[in-house]
Structures are given as C-alpha cells and as structure tokens.
Structure 1
Amino acid sequence: MKKTLLAAALLAGFAGAASAQSSVTLYGIVDGGLRYTSVSLSNGDGASNFGLGYGQQSGNRFGLKGVEDLGGGNKATFMLESGFDIGNGTALQGSRLFGRQAWMGVESNSWGYVRLGRQLNFATEYVGIPVDPFGTGFGQLNMGAAFGVANTDRISNTLKYQTPNMSGFQAGVGYSFATGNTGLYTADAGGGTSGTGYNFASSNNTRQLTLGAKYANGPFYAAASYDKIYSEAGLTQGRSASISSWNLAGSYDFKVVKIAAGYGQTRDGAVLGQGGGGAGATLAGNPVGTGDLIFAPAVGTNSYIVGATIPVNPVSRVLLSWTMLTPNTNMKDIYNAQNQTAYNLAYTYDFTKRTNLYAFVGTMQNVGTVDTAKSTTVGLGMRHQF
C-alpha cells in the first residue's frame, strides 16, 4: 500500500514537472468607444462623422503563445494572433485567420532566437512601439503617420534572427520571401499584389529585408532600423524598383516626464502603414493609409517626431506628440506635396492593471502631403486586456 502511494506521488511529481516546462497562454485585447472624425480640403470637399470606434488605443485581438523547454537552455516557441472588429465580429488584416502574427521558433538566453512566419519588422519592434508615446496605437495620432515603416508593418513568410541581450544591447535581421502586402508602381500608374501565398521564384514576390539594433540602460533607450522592400516583377513590368527606409529614435525617462524623439528617411516610395484599425460603419475612412506600398523612383520623405509621456499619478498619464513628414523636391515639383504636420494629445486612466479608460484628440494638416487636406479626430473609450 505504501509503495502504491509512493509510486502515485512520484508519477504526479513527474507530470507536474513536465507540465511546468511546457505552457500555452490565451491572451487578448478588447477595445471600443466613440469617435468623431472630420476630413476636409480647402475647396470645401470633406466629410465629418460620429459613431462607434473599435480598436482605438489598441487593435482588438486574441492569441495563443506557447513555450516548451527543449533542454540545454533552449526553448521551442510559437505565437498565433488574430485581429478582429468587435463591431461586427469579422476578421481584420485581410480576413486572415491569424493576420496579426503567426510564427514558430527556437530561442535561448545564450544565443537569441530564430523565428519563421508572419511577424513584425524591426522598425516596428525597436522604434515604433518602444519610442512612440502612443505605442503605435490611437489611429492617426501614432508616429506611423510619419514613419510608415514603423507603423505595425507585418510581413509574411519571414525568417528572423535576434541576438541575446548583451548588457542592454540587442540586434536583429530578418528577410521576407513574400510579404503579402499590396503595391502600387507610380511609373505605370498600375497596381499589383504579392498575394498571401508564396511563389518560390523570388521575382514573383514582394520581398523585404529588415534590420534593427537597440540599447536600453535604465531610463535611456535608443534604437535604429533599416528596411529595404523589393517589388515583384509583375508589378513593375520587370524593371527594378525598391523602397529603402531608415530610422533613428530614442527616449529618456526623467520620472516626471519621459521624452522621446526620432528622425527617419524613406526613399524611392512610401510605406503607408496599417491605418487606424476598424472604424465602424458610421465613421469616415482613415486618410493615413491601409498597409500598402508605393514604389515611386526618385520620390522620398523625411520623418520627425518629438513626444512626451507625463505621469499624472500612479494610475493616469498624459500622452503628447508632434510629428512631421516632409517631401523631397521631386514630390513638391510633381505632386505639389506639402509638409504633413500633426499635433496629438491623449489621456489614459487605469481602473485596474488590465482595464483602462482613454480620451484623445489629434489634428493633422496636409494629410499624406496633400495640400490643404486636414484630418481631425476626437474619441474616448475603454480597453480591457486579458
């Protein structure tokens, strides 16, 4: 009898140890509220709408994260993350099942990680999310309105490597064999897409190289990124076309205020970013963009941001930023492009660690460098994380 009890106890112990080394976590965000949007031109064209707004501070999502101990300090990992519109229950990111992220990998504290699948580029991971006071959320208020390549740029069929943390320094490199993002080639005024599939002939796909480096030491943070995007042959009729974009940004936390600043350049086209998320049927379309690529030889922009996060008390913060997107001489001459400027303000209040209230207002002049195009948005809502 005692041996039976001992054996049962040992088996239970082994089972507990095994389960402790492997886990799967369900997580997500639900975010909704009200929003007013006004878009106008100096000639009187425009629209203003008021209604429900979804995924305003953070895109609505649910996902699964998993990890298994492989021994020797190595782990097998995966993430499957789906974006959805809580207004009507439909999937976002082109109706993909796991459109936000879908990857698997192996990692270790000693050598870093290798991942493959649909992932974020390093401009988003290293520059956009950590530096932007709005965390690449709040629609047109985030820095992605000026730094398109850092605005939650998701690229499919990507192989990524990141180094381990070396006294605060990390770096990474990734390559997408087929990004799955749509594209426009202005030289022919035509359009095309690499699709969601994967063709093994490289020229049949829109490809992307992404590089990044970051350093964090106490209140100081700095990061750099570089992305090179190559068009598919069918889009450019066999001619060579690519977009290059690099960014430098950083922040310093003085406790009473956290200051952020950044600068970047994009040449031979534009990355329009992910837009404002699900807006609801009653709201005006987001003028900033929907994740497309524009291949435009000899066209370029410079990007700027200055921002601040001000803690009011332990449960509330004020977010501020100014961004600017300046076109080069070719854009001014050909398209009469003008400087895009934006002023942004938000307030968040934490009811708990998982649930917060937010309010925001932002105004943007010369949206998308279009002369006199103006966009103003005001909203409030609640976000719950689980």
Structure 2
Amino acid sequence: MKKTLLAAALTVGFFGVAQAETSVTLYGIIDTGIGYNKVEVGDNYEAKKVGLINGVQSGSRWGLKGTEDLGDGLQAIFQLESGFDSSTGFSAQDGRLFGRHATIGLQGESWGRLDLGRQTNIASKYFGDVASPFGASFGQANVGATFGSANTVRWDNMVMYQTPNFSGFQFGVGYSFNTNGSQDWDVDNDPTSDDNDEGITTGLRYANGPIGAALTYDQVKNDVVDGKVKAWNLGLSYDFEVVKLHAGFGQTKDGWIGAGNFGAGAPRADMYEDGLEANLYTVGVSAPLGAGKVMASWAMADFDDLNGQELDKQSIYSLGYTYALSKRTNIYAYGSYADNLYGLDDAKSTAVGVGLRHQF
C-alpha cells in the first residue's frame, strides 16, 4: 500500500517549523519466480541452471519519491530507488544503496523537468515499451537483449531535461560526465587521467490514442581508450484494442551500449569495439486474454564481420503471458530461445520461467 506522508508534519516533528506542502511516497516491487536456463556453444560448452529467478518482469526494488511545492507552479522533486535480489536479499546494481535511481531536480507544468543524478538514459525511458510487448523486462525476451542502448541503461553523473507533453510529443536530452562511478580529474600533462566515459542521450516520443512512436540516439566516448560508440533506435506501435502491434529498427556502431559478448566467445567488460556494427530489428504482438495478456516477439541483430571474424545473425524468439490477480499482484510465465547469441556461431540459450509479482 502506497503511503503518503505530509512533510509539513515531519518538519514540525523534527524542526518545529512549518514548511511548504511536501509529499513523500514509499513504493516498491517484489518479483520472484522459478526458472530454467540452458546455454550451449557448439559441442564445447554447455551450462544450465534451475532455481529461483528474481526481477524477471520487474526488477525487485523499494524507493522513495517526493515533491515540494515552491509556488508559481514550480516543484522540487527527488527520487531514490534501491534494487535488490529477492531470492537472496542482496543489493543489486553492484551493491549501490540507490543503484536503480538517485536524483534531485525541479519541474514545472509549463517548462518540463530537470533531474540531476543517477538515472536511466532516454532510450531506456522512451523506446522499449513502444518497440516490444516485453519492453525492458522478461530477461532474454527483453528488447534490450538486441537493442543494447535500451537495456535499462543507468548512467551516473547525469544532467537530464525533459519537456512537458505537447499533444502527445515529448523530447528529452541528457549528458553524463562519467557514466559509471565518480568523475575522474583531468590532470595537466597526464593524458591518461581523464578516464571518463562521457555519455550523450536524446530522444523524441509520441503517444496519442492508439499510436506510439519513439526515436532515440545515444553516444558514449572515452578519450583515454580513444573509443566512441553510437546507437540509434526507432520504435512504432499501434493498438487495435483486440491486438497491439510493435516494431523497432536501430543501429549500433563501434561498440555496444549496455551489453556484449563478442569475439571467440570471450565476455567483454568494455563497451567499445572499433569496427563492430549491427542492424537491429524487432517485431512483436500483444493481446488481452481474460484478465491477462499474451505477448510474442522476434528480434534480430545482423552483425557485420568484426576484424576478419565472421559474426552470425543473432535471433531471439519469445512468448509470454501475464495474469492479474488484483490491481497490484500478478503471475506470469515466459519462454525465450536465442540462436547465434552475440553473433557466435551455434551459441544457443533457452530460458523459461514462471513468477509472482507484487507492487506496493
């Protein structure tokens, strides 16, 4: 149950001084299930796991968000959101206390909102739910498994501005001084000191009636490693009420924002890969079924050859269903099969699961 606290009362309790009206909301999601995952690479590698799965439809989290009325339509806003693994209780996002979100900002009905801090990029906000019925959810079925820049990409040190909604249109732009971790100093006569991954994210979305559309662009560069990766995405959807259609197209160049296992099957921690290019495609459909919804999608990453190494087309086929037990609780089931995962010949992954999600 959402709990709204009046900050005026809190302020009186702590400081004895009445302040402008403030609201603070405690919220969260717990998502846990049972799943199976099997990964094969030719005849040389096979691994599988059966057990509890966490955060499949929605990452398990708890958070606080609030506003303070500053007058003349201006509000101060904040949001703190902590992710956790519901199967173990451990913190997610590399152990950050508020790893999912940590921002403070200002907003006004006439001019939009400005947020400062750790938050998702524009592609993750605008693209996923338009291009795919799975959005940025359901593990391997996640649209971000193909469109990496929309893979719930969170950047530290971000300044982001978003306009109000104008007849269905909204524009956003953001800049990160360093996408991961504290910002490095730029020391004179030391070209290796300024080792920051600087990020630019921008996009435009439209939602009006049955039509949805999104166009996004993201770029990350690092002067020390001389790397610059760029990605853009275009998503479209149309809701016929009895069925909703989704489609997306995009490209990534000189790297992969948000994911990556490329080259001889070895995992890569670095998003930069000079010469790595891919065209990205997805189509999907969702339809109401009783108190639930059935979802299906196909997504493909068509890679160019990388430094003489031939990369195959990655294809992911996914099917899922959600069923509402109440306004806040639902059950779900999904299955997903990936072929030539990350462009590697004969690399396959099969994932299935059922779960329970509760929102408060």
Task: Say yes or no: TM over 0.5.
Answer: yes
Match of 1:321 in 2: 297
Name the CA shift for 1:377/1:47 in 2 (closer, same or farther; >3 Å).
same
Residue from 193, 199, 205 that aligns with 2:196: 205
Q: Is the 8 A contact 1:288 1:367 kept in 2?
A: no
TM alignment of 1:199-278, pairs within 5 A: 199-201=184-186, 203-233=194-224, 236=225, 240-273=226-259
Match of 2:190 in 1: none
Alignment partners' CA distance in 2, 1:375 and 1:143? 16
Alignment partners' CA distance in 2, 1:20 and 1:217? 35
Return the offset for 1:289. 8.0
Other structure's SS at 2:25 match = strand
Q: Which amino acid aligns with 2:135?
A: G
Match of 1:305 in 2: 282
Match of 1:138 in 2: 138
Other structure's SS at 2:32 match = strand
Name the structure with the higher helix share: 1
Residue 49 in 1 paired to residue 49 in 2? yes
Alignment partners' CA distance in 2, 1:84 and 1:40? 29
Q: Is the 8 A contact 1:271 1:293 kept in 2?
A: no
TM alignment of 1:54-203, pairs within 5 A: 54-180=54-180, 196-201=181-186, 203=194
TM alignment of 1:332-343, pairs within 5 A: 334-343=308-317
Q: Which amino acid aligns with 2:295?
A: L
Residue-by-residue CA offset, 1:197-221 (whole Å, 9 max, x unaligned): 1224393211100011011111101
Q: Is the 8 A contact 1:210 1:228 kept in 2?
A: yes
Name the CA shift for 1:274/1:167 in 2 (closer, same or farther; >3 Å).
farther
Other structure's SS at 1:94 match = helix
Q: Which amino acid aligns with 2:318?
A: N
Name the CA shift for 1:75/1:120 in 2 (closer, same or farther; >3 Å).
same
Return the offset for 1:273. 3.8
Q: Which amino acid aligns with 1:34?
A: I
Q: Which amino acid aligns with 2:168?
A: G
Q: Is the 8 A contact 1:145 1:288 kept in 2?
A: no
With structure 2 as the length reference, what TM-score do the two structures score? Answer: 0.89
Name the CA shift for 1:289/1:149 in 2 (closer, same or farther; >3 Å).
farther
Alignment partners' CA distance in 1, 2:201 and 2:162? 11
Instruction: Could you tell me which runs of 5 or more consecutive residues in structure 1 were left unpaired when the two chains were aligned.
Output: 1-10, 181-195, 276-286
Q: Identical aligned pairs, as a percentage?
A: 46
Return the offset for 1:353. 0.8
What is the total number of aligned residue pairs between the two structures? 337
Deviates more, 1:161-170 or 1:258-267: 161-170
Residue-by-residue CA offset, 1:99-118 (whole Å, 9 max, x unaligned): 00100100011000111100
Match of 1:7 in 2: none
Return the offset for 1:368. 0.8
Residue 345 in 1 paired to residue 319 in 2? yes
Q: Is the 8 A contact 1:220 1:251 kept in 2?
A: yes
With structure 1 as the length reference, what TM-score do the two structures score? Answer: 0.83
Q: Looking at CA atoms only, which structure, 1 or 2, has the larger radius of gyration? A: 1
CA RMSD, aligned part only? 2.2
Return the offset for 1:294. 2.1
Q: Is the 8 A contact 1:272 1:293 kept in 2?
A: no
Other structure's SS at 2:242 match = coil
Q: Is the 8 A contact 1:151 1:274 kept in 2?
A: no
Name the CA shift for 1:289/1:176 in 2 (closer, same or farther; >3 Å).
farther
Instruction: Could you tell me which runs of 5 or more consecutive residues in structure 2 were left unpaired when the two chains were aligned.
Output: 1-7, 13-17, 187-192
